[in-house]
Amino acid sequence: MSYLENAWYVAAWAEEIAPGQLVPLEILGTRVVLFRRADGTPAALEDACPHRKLPLSMGRLADDAVVCGYHGLTFNAVGTCIAAPTQAAIPPKACVRAFPLAERYGLVWIWMGDPARADPATLIDIPQWGAPDWGYNRGPVMTVDCHYLYVVDNLLDPTHVTWVHPGSFGDAACGAVPIETTSAPGGVTASRWLVDVEPAPFYAKHLKFSGRADRHQHYEMRYPSNAVIKAVFVPAGTGGHGRPLHPDAFLMDSFNFLTPVNARQTRYFWFQLRNFAPDDDAVSREFTDDVRHAFEEDRVILNAVQVGMDSSATPTIDLKNDLASHRFRQTLARMIAAAG
């Protein structure tokens, strides 16, 4: 098994599952079809009729059930066959897998493993979600043509901003400052303070103070594939571990959720929360545009990394900045192996 199945993954933005629609998706290499019941709650079934494996998404939605587009076998939202119109009785083995879902943070989350273990209480906790003093922006889902662990490498690597995002998140000041890697039961964090630096362009225009800054980069991945990236900017001389936050501190928490489509493709969902201008749509739009531009820079790199790794004829090496990702990958592999 190459994925941690007993975990929540983002299936879609809530509005992607529009009423009356059958939405086919591939998640962890499995084809699923999502739809909404009449009461609005989402449902997910294996996207394959047990008769001739026609994708159920090629059929139609009738009330809270899906009718296969070939011979009309009909499955309710928990995968039970409730009609077999070509014959007198429903075949005893006519059923499809149903997948638990939960809707939170504007996202529909899916549990691809043992349904009995799906507990919405284990969804990622975002303490400041909905807080009136925090602003919110989000972008469209992005599809990256690489294995999700290459995106994990990127999201546990504060060094890449200097080379991949020189016009936004990074600048030359970030170069060789060492990174601290910490492991916790839920994941791994790579972080560092950059002291007395020129604020990188993405942030500079939003800071409440002028001049140089102390900058904290916190790149955290939680198992199996959720990133919490925190950016802190405070006036130079006021930052550092354990010091109280300066009242003019800029805080941005970026939430990045990776959903493996298959071994070569990843869906990438993201939004940011910021500690200022909570109701300013222009600021939210600017954040979305700038983040999207930067993540497109990552996407170009990651697509090419997949091609490069697929076709590599000579050995690869690791750098010091790979330590966090290496630890994350090791523990995740153990968790996947332990799940059998």
Q: Which residue is nearest to Fe ion (CB)?
A: 298
Q: Which does 90 bind (CB under 5 to 8 A by kind): Fe ion, ligand FES, none?
A: none
CA dist., res. 148 & res. 166, Å (int)? 24
Residue nearer to Fe ion on the CB measure, 36 or 216: 216
Residues 264-323 within binding reach of Fe ion (CB under 5 A): 298
Q: How far is the CB of 46 from Fe ion (least distance, A)?
A: 35
Residue 252: partners with Cβ closer than 8 Å, 6 or more residues away: 203, 230, 231, 272, 273, 274, 275, 287
Residue nearer to ligand FES on the CB measure, 87 or 316: 87
C-alpha dihedral sign at 160, 163, 168, 172: positive
Give the residue among 89, 92, 64, 68 at the shortest CA–CA distance from 78: 64
Q: Which does 117 bind (CB under 5 to 8 A by kind): ligand FES, Fe ion, none?
A: none
Contact between residue 53 and residue 284 where contact means Cβ atoms under 8 Å apart: no
Order the strands of the 101-104 sheet from edge to edge. Answer: 8-13, 107-111, 101-104
Give the side-chain half-sphere CA count within 13 A for 77.
17
Q: How far is the CB of 92 from ligand FES (least distance, A)?
A: 15
Residue 262: partners with Cβ closer than 8 Å, 6 or more residues away: 26, 28, 29
Among 31, 37, 51, 206, binds ligand FES (CB under 6 A): 51
| Residue showing tokens 């529009």 | 18
Q: How far is the CB of 48 from ligand FES (least distance, A)?
A: 9
Residues 67-86 within binding reach of ligand FES (CB under 6 A): 68, 70-71, 73
Say whether residue 104 binds ligand FES (CB under 6 A): no
Q: How far is the CB of 80 from ligand FES (least distance, A)?
A: 15
Name residue 320's amino acid: K
Q: How far is the CB of 160 from Fe ion (least distance, A)?
A: 6
Binding site for ligand FES (CB under 6 A): 49, 51-52, 54, 68, 70-71, 73
Binding residues for Fe ion (CB under 5 A): 298
